[in-house]
Homo-oligomer: A and B are copies of this chain.
Amino acid sequence: MADVRIVFLPGGCPAVVEERTTLLEAAQKAGAGLAAHCGGAGSCGACRVRVAADAPVSPPGLVEEQLLRPEELAAGIRLACQTLALGSLQVEIPPESAAVAQRLQVGGDEHCARFDPPTEVRDVELPPPPAATPQSDWEILIRRLDLEELRPNPGLGFLRRLGAALADDRTVRLGLRRGAPSWALPAGRRPLGLAVDLGTTKVAGYLVDMADGEVLTSGGVTNPQIAYGEDVLSRITAVMLDGALQERLSRLVMDALGVMAAGLCRAASERAGAQAPLLPGDITECVVVCNTVMHHLALGLSVQGLGVAPFRPVLRAPLECKAAELGLAVHPEANVYFPGNVSGFIGSDHLAMLLASGVGRGGGGPVLGIDIGTNSEISLCRGGEILSCSAASGSAFEGSTLRFGMRAADGAIEHVRVRDGRVEFQTVGGGKPVGLCGSGVLDAVARLRAAGAINRHGAFVAESPLVRRGPAGPEVVIAGADVSRHGRDLTLSRQDVGRIQLSKGAIRTAIELLLRQAGMCAAELERFVVAGAFGTYLDVDSAMDVGMFPRLPRERFRQVGNSAGLGARLLLTSESARRQCADMAARIRHCELTGLPEFRSEFTRAMWL
């Protein structure tokens, strides 16, 4: 069957697949980050994509006719899991279908195109040494590679693999890093790459073919450190109380990455069918992006300095080490690259986002980029200058401190509207509601404020028909017991609203103070880029309504999803991206905002709704 090329918008990531492959499979191959809650079974309807009217795809089937409205089908909306590609085409992933994985709307596909891998792959055939002279494999190799002059200090791990590879076969596949032999694979093995976005809660991984940069598959696991604390500060505390945890937490992450790598290899092998299976031992290149505390916890570096002001990291520079040093179960000599950190609160995940979203590139007008999480990182880029800060935005948007809060998982209310005096909602997966995730809570506060049920200070307006007297004070029912999955009313309390006020206040304060540091006002921003899982799903209008974001024309906003993951993939396959990222890190001026005299007053004002 012929191969067809499918390009997913807005990210521009391509996949080359066989004709009659489903668009979902192609999206997975491209790492385009398309939601598929039911795993492609055709039951959830989450993988909606848009194709042109004349696009070469299979006609809608029974499943799509059931799950899609006629006007949607007319507009080119299709379920990716039900639609077969019959030729090359472009597929648009609408925001509501974007998985955590990726939804890049800034920078376009130019990044996807760049491919200059940091390690050169070379097949070398070594002649057997002449019987009389006692030349070693290493000497024969460096002579073969014309490295005699360089005489790099051979790495022990490399020599172990080299000897093993040459024992049976005198041909070996080598990785040369900066001209020096870095790893050895048996001839014919296909070097793979692993890009990791190591979050405090979730770990996302992308398995990449290092021959062409193609994403073979992607997937995620939970960060097992969660057992030692939901957030980074509680993990630092745990380590401070029990020094032995330092090594244990690093071990846990590395084990999880190893398991993830094995799973991705298995999945990619199954997809590829009868070919030789892909093995974790073929992963010769890794990139890990993460926040600074996760960076230290993963590497086994002391986090003691990160627990107290001035939040001193052990290392900010990029670090490259061998997988064996980390105990990471891929090729033992795989080069594992950790890009640099900016400060104790701004890590390489933010740098990766700035890289992938183009925010950090400079050149154009002023751009603000924000990663929203328990700790939010914000960068203001103008010309070549980058001002960055962090904001303690708390975990309200991740659902963990709210009465009915939850993560954006199946059954989470992700959007709320007030129509005709009644609260309406939409859940992840479309089923019965279980709780509220960040975007749902943000919507609820914004819509209830607009409906007059909440005043500007966040208090419920007793007179509003939406507000009722609950056992612990006034509350608003978002979903009644009759429709909720567990048969209880899902409500929003005054305390919940207060938590959202604190979170959004912290973010807005940081944005305002950062702008002030640059002598700018928000209106001058040419673009406002929102990244991260919550940032992907939030309703920008709600965010403006509650005052979390400054009011700007709607079209200036870009929701770029998990661009840290895309950034990790760029860093994996591109030496110039690594240089660009290091260069960017050097240009960043870190602002510590809490020390500013105007911080308190600004924060008080930013809490208003």
A109 at interface (Cβ–Cβ under 8 A)?
A: no
State the number of copies, please.
2
In the complex, A342→B133 CA distance in Å? 10
Query: Known contacts being A164-B302, A343-B134, is A129 close to B312, with CB within 8 Å?
Result: yes
Q: Which residues of A contact B (CB under 8 A)?
A: 128-139, 151, 153-157, 159-160, 162-164, 166-167, 246, 296, 299-302, 304-305, 309-317, 319-321, 324-326, 341-344, 590, 592, 595
Please name all residues of chain B whose beta carbon is closer than 8 Å to the beta carbon of A592 when the two chains form the complex. 131-132
B301 and A163 within 8 A (CB) = yes
A-B residue pairs in contact (CB < 8 Å), sample of 20: A128-B310, A129-B312, A130-B310, A131-B310, A134-B344, A135-B316, A136-B312, A136-B313, A136-B315, A136-B317, A137-B314, A137-B315, A154-B317, A156-B321, A159-B319, A160-B300, A160-B302, A163-B305, A164-B302, A325-B325
Q: A129-B310, A133-B590 are in contact. Are A156 and B326 (CB under 8 A)?
A: yes
Determine whether the beta carbon of A137 is less than 8 Å from that of B313: yes
A24 to B341, alpha carbons, bound, how many Å? 57
> Whole-angstrom distance between the alpha carbons of A108 and B246 in the complex?
51
Instruction: Point out the residues of chain B lying under 8 angstroms from A301, CB to CB.
Output: 159-160, 163
CA distance A190 to B319 in the complex (A): 29
Cα A456 to Cα B383 in complex, Å, equals 95
- A151: which B residues are within 8 A, CB to CB? 317
* A168 CB → nearest B CB, Å: 8
Residue of B whose beta carbon sits closest to that of A344: B134
Q: Which residues of B contact A130 (CB under 8 A)?
A: 310
Nearest B residue to A310 by beta-carbon distance? B131
User: Chain B residues with Cβ under 8 A from A344's Cβ?
Assistant: 134
Please report the C-alpha to C-alpha distance between residue A385 and residue B160 in the assembled complex, in whole angstroms.
Answer: 33
CB distance B316 to A160 under 8 Å?
no
A38 to B341, CA, bound (A): 61
| B157 engages A320 (CB within 8 Å) | no
A134 lies within 8 A of B305 (CB): no
Q: Which residues of B contact A162 (CB under 8 A)?
A: 314
- Nearest first, the 3 closest Cβ-Cβ pairs linking A and B are A163-B302, A134-B343, A163-B314
Which chain B residues border A341 with CB–CB below 8 Å?
A: 136
Asked whether B324 lies within 8 Å of A138 as measured between CB atoms, the reply is no
Task: Across the interface, name the chain B residue whose C-beta is closest to A316.
Answer: B136
A134-B344, A136-B341 given. 6 additional CB < 8 A pairs? Answer: A134-B316, A134-B342, A137-B313, A138-B317, A163-B304, A167-B304
- Measured between beta carbons, the chain B residues less than 8 angstroms from A296 are 163
Contact: A137 with B312, CB < 8 Å? yes
A299 proximity list for chain B (CB < 8 A)? 156, 159-160
Bound-complex Cα distance A313 to B326 (A): 28
Residues of B within 8 A of A320 (CB): 153
CA distance A358 to B154 in the complex (A): 29
Among residues of B, the one whose C-beta sits closest to the C-beta of A135 is: B312
> Closest CB-CB distance, A142 to chain B, in whole Å?
9
> Is the Cβ of A310 less than 8 Å from the Cβ of B134?
yes
| CB pair B304 A134 closer than 8 Å | no
The one of B159, B309, B325, B342 in contact with A314, judged by C-beta atoms closer than 8 angstroms, is: B159
Q: Which residues of B contact A305 (CB under 8 A)?
A: 137, 163, 166-167
**Structural contact, A315 and B138, CB atoms closer than 8 A:** yes
A446 to chain B, nearest CB (A): 35
Given contacts A129-B312, A156-B319, contact A325 B324 (CB under 8 A): yes
Min CB–CB distance A100 → chain B (angstroms): 28
A151 to B130, CA, bound (A): 42
Of B136, B309, B316, B325, the contact of A139 (CB 8 Å cutoff):
B316
**CB nearest to A129 among chain B residues:** B312
Q: Report the Cα distance A133→B137, complex, angstroms.
A: 49
A268 to chain B, nearest CB (A): 28
Q: Which residues of B contact A321 (CB under 8 A)?
A: 155-156
Residue of B with least CB distance to A336: B156
* Residues of chain B lying within 8 A (CB to CB) of residue A160: 299-302
The smallest C-beta distance from A66 to any residue of chain B, in angstroms, reads 54
Q: Which residue of B lies closest to A139 (CB)?
A: B316
Answer whether A138 and B343 are a contact pair too, CB < 8 Å, given A153-B320, A166-B302, A299-B160. no
Determine whether the beta carbon of B135 is less than 8 Å from that of A319: no
The interface residues of chain B lying within 8 Å CB-to-CB of A246 are: 164
Are B310 and A154 interface neighbours, CB within 8 A? no
Residue of B132, B159, B311 touching A134 (CB-CB under 8 A): B311
Q: How far is the CA of A324 from the CA of B247 in the complex (A)?
A: 14
State the CA gap A304–B163 with chains docked (Å).
Answer: 8
Within the complex, what minimum Cβ distance (angstroms) separates A124 from chain B?
15
Cα(A512)–Cα(B296), bound, Å: 63
Alpha-carbon gap, A531 to B321, bound state (A): 42
Residues from chain B with Cβ under 8 Å of A131 in the complex: 309-310, 592, 595
